[in-house]
């Protein structure tokens, strides 16, 4: 069955450093990989989408890489800030009008 793995442990990063989160998947050939941010008591908020034929995507302080051979995506937040503290979710879809398959998320804590 399809499986998405994200760091289950909380990730503590010092303010100003780069936070790197990992998403690995098995038994899936996604057309798209997406990253979301979820704060307590809120729904996920879309951050970035990367297609299967793309290697890297950037948006302001965010960068996503996608390696379909390794079946892995890395999500980077540069110059991290305490306001970046949240749970970050990796999600896959086959494209078209599909719903998403989510990982459990990684809880990121940026220490001032």
Partner 1 sequence: SAVISQKPSRDICQRGTSLTIQCQVDSQVTMMFWYRQQPGQSLTLIATANQGSEATYESGFVIDKFPISRPNLTFSTLTVSNMSPEDSSIYLCSVADGSGYTFGSGTRLTVV
Q: Is 36 in the site for partner 1 (CB under 8 A)?
A: yes
Q: Choose which of 11, 15, 22, 49 interacts with partner 1 (CB under 8 A).
A: 49
Residue 3 CB, nearest approach to partner 1 (Å): 11
Report the distance separating Cα 19 and Cα 26, nearest Å.
24
Report the distance separating Cα 48 and Cα 44, nearest Å.
12
- For tokens 């995507």, name the residue: 57
Q: Is 89 in the site for partner 1 (CB under 8 A)?
A: yes
Q: Please choose, from the candidates 107, 59, 50, 57, the residue with its C-alpha nearest in 3D space to the C-alpha of residue 84.
A: 107
For the chain, counts of helices (H) and of strands (E): 0, 11
Q: Is 21 in the site for partner 1 (CB under 8 A)?
A: no
Nearer of residues 27 and 42 to partner 1, judged by Cβ? 42
Strand partners, 5: 24
Q: Is 46 in the site for partner 1 (CB under 8 A)?
A: yes
Instruction: Using CB under 8 A, list all residues that contact partner 1.
Output: 4, 34, 36, 41-47, 49, 89, 91, 97, 99-105
């Amino acid at each position: 069955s399809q499986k998405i793995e994200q760091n289950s442990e909380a990730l503590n990063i010092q303010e100003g450093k780069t936070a790197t989160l990992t998403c690995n998947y098995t038994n899936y050939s996604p057309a798209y990989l997406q990253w979301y941010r979820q704060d307590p008591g809120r729904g996920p908020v879309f951050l970035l989408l990367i297609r299967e034929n793309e290697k890297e995507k950037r948006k302001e302080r965010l960068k996503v890489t996608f390696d379909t051979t390794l079946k892995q995506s890395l999500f980077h937040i540069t110059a991290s800030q305490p306001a970046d503290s949240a749970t970050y979710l990796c999600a896959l879809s086959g494209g078209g009008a599909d719903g998403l398959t989510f990982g459990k998320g990684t809880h990121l804590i940026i220490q001032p």
